[in-house]
Amino acid sequence: MTVTSWVPVPAGSDFPVTNLPYGVFEPAGGPARVGVAIGEHVLDLAAVLDEETFAQPSLNTFMAQGRERWQQTRARVTDLLTDEAHRSEVEPALYRLGDVRLLLPFSVADYVDFYASEQHASNIGRMFRPDSPPLMPNWKHLPVGYHGRAGTVVASDTPIVRPSGQRKPPQAEAPMFGPSQRLDIEAEVGFVVGAGSDLGTAVSTEDFAEHVFGVCLVNDWSARDIQAWEYVPLGPFLGKSFATSVSPWIVPLEALQQARVSTPEQDPQPLPYLREKQPWGLDLDLEVSLNDEVIARPPFDALYWSPAQQLAHMTINGACLRTGDFYASGTVSGSEPDQRGSLIELSWNGENPLTLKDGSQRVFLADGDTVTIRATAPGAEGTRIGFGEVTGTIHPAREELS
């Protein structure tokens, strides 16, 4: 059986009917509400399903309703979009994607950023601690992570103003103040928690799909010079907290069943609470573009710690989950030089600047640069599903802060 929609879906579209990602859109003149992407359209769920749940400027109300409701809704939307009998009823609720504005799809509760790619963590270790083992002693025992700033998680295409702050080059006697000179990207994959958990309980790796609603793309912009000066001993703060961009579409976990793979072999074997009975690695192919030129293709299936392991670790101390909690994988890097998900790795800390097609070179981002991250994954029925994109353009630092 091939599932096809009566809504035309162009070949190569990110949004065949086997995907059906959720987002929040604003039609011309209308208030924001929840929709599902299909081909080149978005379906207004408030119009065809349930006003109270979907006539909302965020997915949180729907996400809080839990997995059974997510499954029912997906089945119902699939039915509406594949059975011609619904066409006359549903067609008026379709908007062309080009005619609507896409917003941040959920209201962020807490934001956690992990560091789960062995290649990324090793690359950073080799660059900054050349005389030590590339990984810290804890790295293969637990998914290292930290809390980021939820209030500066922004929608795709939000302008990224170059941050100012303190930096101290190694040879300088004292720190100086000004716009970051080492503005970087981090290509990551994000996980959105729908159903919360109680304070004092832990969420096991097996309960991952009971809590996590879906997956999106993340660019965790990073000011390497600010970060390098501030981060000892309490971790990254202002070097990260100015902006984190997320893609407008949340791909439901259910659409990713065919993308599930085992993580790479974990040696040493992790402690019991981190073991997975069923694999939650994901075979996503990322693609990072700088000014419309592909500069990296990071493979997510190489990630050492799966998102289910990250969730189990995050709650093992009894920390509760809330609807809208959001966690990202950390920079996704593969083993090949063109699979690295940050400029600091791609340029090897400036030793090998990137040369773009226009002849210009980059070690870090220049004002006016646009970075776009895309990804695809195997979907049901032999389809390929996509995540849309997360994009952002660098604006100059504000003068009064220069």
CA distance 133 to 118: 13
| Contact track, its own copies, 236-255, x by CB under 8 A | xxxx-xxx------------
Taken in order 226, 232, 234, 236, the sign of the CA dihedral is positive
Can residue 235 be called a binding residue for its own copies (CB under 8 A)?
Answer: yes
Per CB under 8 A, does 138 bind its own copies? yes
Which two structure tokens, joined as six digits, stand for 134? 């590339």
Among 3, 75, 85, 401, binds its own copies (CB under 8 A): 401
Decide if residue 322 touches its own copies (CB under 8 A).
yes
Interacting residue with its own copies among 271, 278, 279, 402 (CB under 8 A): 271
Q: Is 194 in the site for its own copies (CB under 8 A)?
A: no
Taking CB under 8 A as the criterion, the residue among 47, 136, 354, 366 binding its own copies is 136
* Least distance from its own copies to the Cβ atom of residue 320, Å: 6
Q: Does 70 bind its own copies (CB under 8 A)?
A: no
Question: Interface with its own copies includes 219 (CB under 8 A)?
Answer: no
Among 175, 264, 350, 368, binds its own copies (CB under 8 A): 175
Size of the site for its own copies (CB under 8 A): 66
Tell me if 106 sits within 8 A of 250, measured CB to CB.
yes
Rule CB under 8 A: say whether 147 interacts with its own copies. yes
Instruction: Assess contact for 352 and 362: CB atoms under 8 A.
Output: no
Nearest distance, CB of residue 200 and its own copies, angstroms? 5
SS (H, E, C) 43-99: EEHHHHCCHHHHCCCCCHHHHCCCHHHHHHHHHHHHHHHHCHHHHHHHHHHEEEHHH
Residue 42 main-chain phi, psi, to 5 deg: -125, 135
127 binds its own copies (CB under 8 A): no
Tell me whether residue 173 is annotated as binding: no
Residue 227 counted as an annotated binding residue? yes
Q: What are the beta bridge partners of residue 293? A: 290
Query: 240 labelled as ligand-binding?
Result: yes
By CB under 8 A, residue 345 contacts its own copies: no
| Cβ neighbours of residue 83 closer than 8 Å, sequence gap 6 or more | 6
Nearest to 253, CA basis, from 215, 205, 281, 217: 215
Told to check if 172 binds its own copies by CB under 8 A, we report no
**Residues with Cβ within 8 Å of residue 30, at least 6 apart in sequence:** none
Element (DSSP H or E) covering residue 147: strand 145-148
- Would you call 308 helix, strand, or coil by DSSP? helix
Indicate which residues carry an active-site annotation: 120
332 binds its own copies (CB under 8 A): no
57 is a site residue for its own copies (CB under 8 A): no
Q: Which two tokens stand for residue 389?
A: 């994109």
**Binding-site entries for Mg(2+):** 220, 240, 244
Q: Which residues bind its own copies (CB under 8 A)?
A: 109-110, 112, 115, 136-138, 141-142, 144-152, 154, 158, 161, 163-166, 168, 174-175, 177, 199-202, 223, 226, 229-239, 241-243, 268, 271-273, 313-314, 316-322, 325, 398, 400-401
